[in-house]
Amino acid sequence: MRIMSGGKKLSVATRPLPRIETLSPEWAEYELIDSGAGRKLERFGVVALVRPEAQAKWSPALGKKVWDAAQGEFVQVARARKGEWKFSRGVPQRWEMRRGDLAFLVQPTPAGHVGVFPDQAGHWDWMSVLIEAAVAERKAPALPSGDSAPKILSLFGYTGLATLACAAAGAEVTHVDASKQAIAWARENQALSKLGERRIRWLIDDALTFVAREVRRGRKYDGLILDPPRFGRGPKGELWKVEEALPTLLRGCRQLLSDAPLFVLLNTYTTVLTRGQTRAEAGQLEAFLQEMLKSLPAEITAGELVSRDRAGREISCSVFARAEMHRV
């Protein structure tokens, strides 16, 4: 991923590479069981699924009998970027999963996704801790009374699990996604998690358009979650290419930060197959946050999120940079 900022390429080659922080949170209902031969075997609740995984160039650690016991497999069509699900025996169209107090629906989609990216749970936990601390601080008797809920903006919010984690921690969240179907799915997850009374704005909109509108309105947020795809389209066909649009988006987002922000999270999914490329991509995201937040006292961490199978082999899921603001 090579991204330009104001016509100038941000380089990470002339400075130390960022510290790589591996976040692989514990799950009770999700497991990367095995991987190898270009595939991965995962358990989502009570259902085991096989999906393609280009990073898994090694041989599977478990035998054919274990793999054949999976209820479904997403098979890619040769020479095409699409595929189809094949189910060996009855699998519900949708089923429920939980992580902590969050409940959500899992559903195999035509793109091979299932509505949850388990590796992201480390980010949910990190944001929840910061929000809970801020709520407690704002409720302190020595402080003026008022709304103690931090305001969080979640862009490219998909099925809403990061949004719901923040809402459960006490935040007021604005959730933006270009997909009507994803917003509907996220609302169902809100109901399943029994968070219907929490303050969440669900908006179908293009991220760049929405941010520009919020800047004009003078809106401010205490936390920003940006989880952009590599490529996509807005609800009105707006073209999104992360290499071209991310610098503009970050400049707009900087204007949305409150006077005492809590955090900024920037995460992008990756298909890189070597650690060297992963580190370089994480470094670029770190450089963007450093440029965006250069006037703020922020501690920035960059790295990757991984999943490990039972044999300890790692699958790199995404790269990220995240900033925690120091209280002054």
The pLDDT of residue 169 is above 90: yes
Q: For 137-148, how does the pLDDT look when each residue is reduced to its tens digit (9 = 90+)?
A: 887 654 444 578
* Res 11: pLDDT: 33
Q: Determine the average pLDDT of the residues in 14-42.
A: 81
Neighbours of 138 (CB within 10 A): 16
Please tell me what DSSP assigns to residue 113: -
Edge-to-edge strands, sheet with 47-52: 30-36, 39-44, 47-52, 72-76, 83-87
- Band of pLDDT at residue 4, cut at 50, 70 and 90: very low
CA–CA distance, 238 with 200 (Å, rounded to integer): 25
Between 229 and 57, whose confidence is greater?
57
Q: Determine the average pLDDT of the residues in 76-98.
A: 85
The pLDDT of residue 314 is above 60: yes
Least confident piece of the model among 12-26, 41-55, 307-321:
12-26
Q: Determine the average pLDDT of the residues in 27-41.
A: 96
For the chain, what percent of residues have pLDDT higher than 90? 68
Q: Determine the average pLDDT of the residues in 215-224.
A: 98
Q: What topology is assigned to 4-26+116-325 in CATH?
A: Rossmann fold (3.40.50)
Q: Determine the average pLDDT of the residues in 160-185.
A: 97
The pLDDT of residue 69 is above 90: yes
* 175 touches 147 (CB < 8 A): no
User: Which pair of tokens denotes residue 105?
Assistant: 């629906």
How far are the Cα atoms of 106, 153, 164, 185, 188 from residue 191, in angstroms, in the given order?
14, 20, 10, 10, 5
The pLDDT of residue 181 is above 90: yes
- Domain spans in the chain, listed from the N-terminal domain onward: 4-26+116-325
The pLDDT of residue 120 is above 90: yes
